[in-house]
Chains A and B, each alone.
Chain A
Amino acid sequence: MKNRENYRKERIDRCIKARSDDIYALSSYKEMWYLIFPRVVPIIGIAILAYFLPLYWKKVVITTCIFAMLAVSWDFLSSCGLLSLGQALFFGIGSYTAGCLNHYFHFPIYLTIPIATICGGFISTILLLPVIRLRGIYFAMVTLILPLMLARGIEATHVFGGNEGITGLSPFPNVWVELTFIIAGMWAALFALRRFISSDYGLIFVSIRDNDRATMASGINIYAFKAQALFIGSSICAFCGAFMTHLYMFTGIPVFTMEFSILPIAASAIGGIGTLAGPLLGAFILVPLSEILREFGSLRVVFYGLVLVVCVVALPEGIFHYLSRKYNEMERWVRLE
């Protein structure tokens, strides 16, 4: 330890420094590294991890990526003032769309997934359009109830395979394709959304959450924007649903289970709401954790819940907020003249 007598603690905000003098940032490798580091390390880290892990854990990585995308989508919707308790709705619609196209019309994978992504987003938006004027918890209630209704509806009417669902759908060629596909999709969704939401157009979505009345008094048709946000958010979930359908070669009522709605919210809560990257981080903590805890049997839920509570109590702002603050706001000791 240094002798602190001749030193003073200095706090510098590296974020502002690197951003404000961008010519400096471009000319200095150190500053460039500072900006690139937090993006490159997770990307390379997950790629390496996915490559070396045994097959069982490769599958866990895939599931994690799916939940991470659901969480990022949830956070995007909440950033636009749309509180969703029904990611399972979007997920399930994507899954059933892909499943039906594959089973009834024999569409190949490379067609079902893109079509299910777009159509899933479209159908979800149409379904929620009548309630898009509802705010906060009232909108949330509807999103919570719709997947349950669809599941019971399919059960009762025996459409799309009814209770048994549809089995024997086309699989991916091998696990490498699965991994590459979902990891690439996840990063694409994250970086595209982060860029989108900080653009002048994306800014309007954030303003709706901040104050929808002031946004209307700024001459913005908030319902048109909310519909667009819904489409973007639900398309991402529909993509996950379609992907999972081919992964398990199955679609059925389980795709509407609450887990797909609740886990993304938990991941966002511990990761940091409103950052998009935080929820992804949260999913990468919660999903593997849940796998590790499997050997504890019934105690699994207890430990799982404990971790959740500790995270939320210790870091109410979310892990990502905490990390990015520590990273940007570096403290150092400087010698007094």
Chain B
Amino acid sequence: MAILEIKGVTKSFGGVKAVEDVSVNVEENTLLGIIGPNGSGKTTLVNIITGFIKPDKGSVFFKGKELIGLPPYTITNLGIGRAFQMVKPFFHLPAFKNLIVPLSSKRVRSTSGGGYGDKDAIALDILEEVGFERDSSVPYKTASVLPHGYLKRLELARLISLKSEIFILDELFSGLSIAEVTSILPIIEKILFEGNTVIMIEHRLKELFRIANKVIVFNFGRIIKEGAPKEILEDEEVKKAYLGVEV
């Protein structure tokens, strides 16, 4: 059985059909890539899965449990973590204190026990995992002064500290240099290796196609193509939707 089943999800904003009758099955421990032109409804689908937006129609099942109607924090506590396309750190807090918030969630407190005690050491470990230099001052800096690349890593660190089972990464690589992307890719591979499921929305097709098991293509809120990376690459309709984009 698929770990995540999306069935006939539809959502319109005024006259705009942002997502229209979308159905996808996400198999456990695979990496699903979602691509599509700007404004094709990818982020809206993520918002529906994670409870930030209620769809007009359709259902989403996580391990057979209906998610529609649950608030975002409950869905997060079930094990679905999402990184925001627009980074959303807690600007007033130091980087490592940013992770105290997910580490205080019901999910983490019930699995690893303990109350609200000293979690700084765990936070620093996770930050090191995503590439914050441990012995430098970077993990202690206020999030508002951190460069964009670190804020993207912080988004990833939040999902890791939540012990998520499904990682939804909304354009994690946007605005990053090739070097930074190359250094984050192994972290995602490790997340997969540990048995988790990853859904990646990306405009960086080259990197995505290298690690994806399956790719779906969005256009105008609909899935126009679904298949293995290689099939997608050769598809004429996809090329047309992505006109001018070198793959």
Residues of A whose CB lies within 8 Å of any CB of B are: 199-201, 203-204, 206-207, 209-211, 213-222, 274
User: Is B91's CB under 8 angstroms from A210's CB?
Assistant: yes
User: Is B105's CB under 8 angstroms from A207's CB?
Assistant: no
User: Is B93's CB under 8 angstroms from A211's CB?
Assistant: no
Give the residues in chain A near B106, CB-CB below 8 Å.
219, 221
B84 proximal to A (CB < 8 A): yes
Which of these, B73, B88, B98, contacts A219 with CB under 8 Å?
B73
Bound CA span A29–B98, Å: 34
Q: How far is the CB of B108 from chain A (nearest CB, A)?
A: 7
Give the residues in chain B near A206, CB-CB below 8 Å.
90, 92-93
Q: How far is the CB of B23 from chain A (nearest CB, A)?
A: 24
Give the residues in chain A near B76, CB-CB below 8 Å.
216-219
Residues of B whose CB lies within 8 Å of any CB of A are: 50, 52, 71-74, 76-77, 81-82, 84, 88-93, 97-98, 100-102, 104-108, 116-119, 158, 162
Q: How far is the CB of A330 from chain B (nearest CB, A)?
A: 20
Identify 17 new A-B residue pairs, CB closer than 8 A, beyond the known A213-B52, A218-B105, A220-B73.
A200-B100, A204-B104, A211-B88, A211-B90, A213-B72, A214-B101, A216-B72, A217-B81, A217-B158, A218-B101, A218-B102, A219-B105, A219-B106, A219-B107, A220-B104, A221-B73, A222-B73
Q: How far is the CB of B166 from chain A (nearest CB, A)?
A: 13
Which of these, B84, B104, B108, contacts A214 with CB under 8 Å?
B84
Give the residues in chain B near A213, CB-CB below 8 Å.
52, 72, 84, 88
Give the residues in chain A near B116, CB-CB below 8 Å.
199-201
A-B contact pairs, 24 of them (CB 8 A): A200-B100, A201-B116, A210-B89, A210-B91, A210-B92, A210-B93, A211-B91, A213-B52, A213-B72, A213-B84, A213-B88, A214-B88, A215-B90, A215-B101, A216-B71, A216-B76, A217-B72, A217-B76, A217-B158, A219-B105, A219-B107, A220-B73, A220-B104, A221-B71
Q: How far is the CB of B77 from chain A (nearest CB, A)?
A: 5
Give the residues in chain A near B104, CB-CB below 8 Å.
200-201, 204, 220
Closest A residue, CB atoms, query B78? A219
Q: How far is the CB of A204 from chain B (nearest CB, A)?
A: 6
User: Is B105's CB under 8 angstroms from A200's CB?
Assistant: no
Report, nearest first, the 5 A-B pairs whose CB atoms are least far apart.
A219-B105, A214-B88, A218-B102, A219-B76, A210-B90
